[in-house]
Amino acid sequence: MAQSYYTSKLPENCRRITLYKNGFTIDEGEFRDFEVEENKKFMENIEAGILPKELQGKDKSIMNVAIKDKSSQIYTKNKSQEEKTLYKGQGVKLGSSNSNLNEEEINKIIASNPTDIKEIKIDDNNPITTIQIRLYNGKKIIQKFNYNHTVEDLFQFVYGHTPINFSLFFDFPLKKIERNNKTLQEENLLGVIITQKL
């Protein structure tokens, strides 16, 4: 299970990934720079719902995964840290798209349904979270929301970018987000990475 660990009490077997603009760390360990292709692919797999063997339990069970999003910050190494390491693990696919449409058909549908992107108005006097959204085509969007924005606000925002039927997922394994009017805080969607599937 993946969750934000800014506000959540995490289970003992939870692996902690801290995401920076230029790389990431696992359990506050050595920094993994995105300039290294293996590290870049590692995070792309995480965002796509592919859980590497490194993050599985000793009995091959799926571990809990918590992601702290610091993607607006650039990581600076401490002098005591060693040089960047490569990730050589393999992934386990946990989710896939159910769409039978090809890219050209999808683009035609989107082009025939022009829509305005929903503006997310941020109240600086209320708590703010940052959500990373990975669209079906691989494009990434990073958007700020207030804790009291609703799941419906989230869906409307994504629909503005891709006006086509879709589903949103988070967690490991991927958990479908049900469309409703509850707040992002109520649905534990603070600081998460969301994957869109058609």
Would you state the structure tokens that stand for residue 48, as one six-digit string? 């796509």
Place of tokens 């650039």: 74
Residue identified by tokens 């159910």 is 98
What is the SS3 assignment for 109-177? Answer: HHHCCCCCCCCCCCCCCCCEEEEEEECCCCCEEEEEEECCCEHHHHHHHHHHHCCCCCEEEECCCCEEC
Going by pLDDT thresholds of 50, 70 and 90, the confidence category of residue 42 is: confident
Counting other chains too, the contacts that 29-33 makes at CB distance below 8 Å and 24 or more residues apart are 30/81, 30/82, 30/84, 30/85, 31/75, 31/77, 31/81, 31/84, 32/84, 32/85, 32/87, 33/84
Looking at the predicted structure, is the pLDDT value of residue 197 above 60?
A: yes
Checking if the pLDDT of 102 tops 80, the result is no
**How distant, in Å, are the alpha carbons of 37, 63, 64, 66, 159 from that of 6?**
28, 19, 15, 9, 27
pLDDT greater at residue 97 or residue 91: 97
The mean pLDDT of 164-192, rounded to a whole number, is 89
pLDDT per residue over 116-159, tens digit each? 566 889 999 999 999 999 888 888 889 999 999 999 999 999 98
Cα dihedral: 143, 53, 85, 174 (round 10): 0
Structural domains for the chain: 2-74 (3.30.420.210), 111-197 (3.10.20.90)
Q: Which residue has the higher pLDDT, 44 or 110?
A: 44
Task: State residue 162's pLDDT score.
Answer: 84
pLDDT at 152: 94
Residue linked to tokens 């039927």: 165
Instruction: Give the per-residue pLDDT at 127.
Output: 94
Give residue 29's pLDDT band: very low, low, confident or very high (50, 70, 90). confident
Which pLDDT score, from 0 to 100, does residue 85 have? 42
- pLDDT band with cut points at 50, 70 and 90 for residue 63: low
Q: What is the pLDDT of residue 139?
A: 86
- Whole-structure pTM over 0.75, yes or no? no
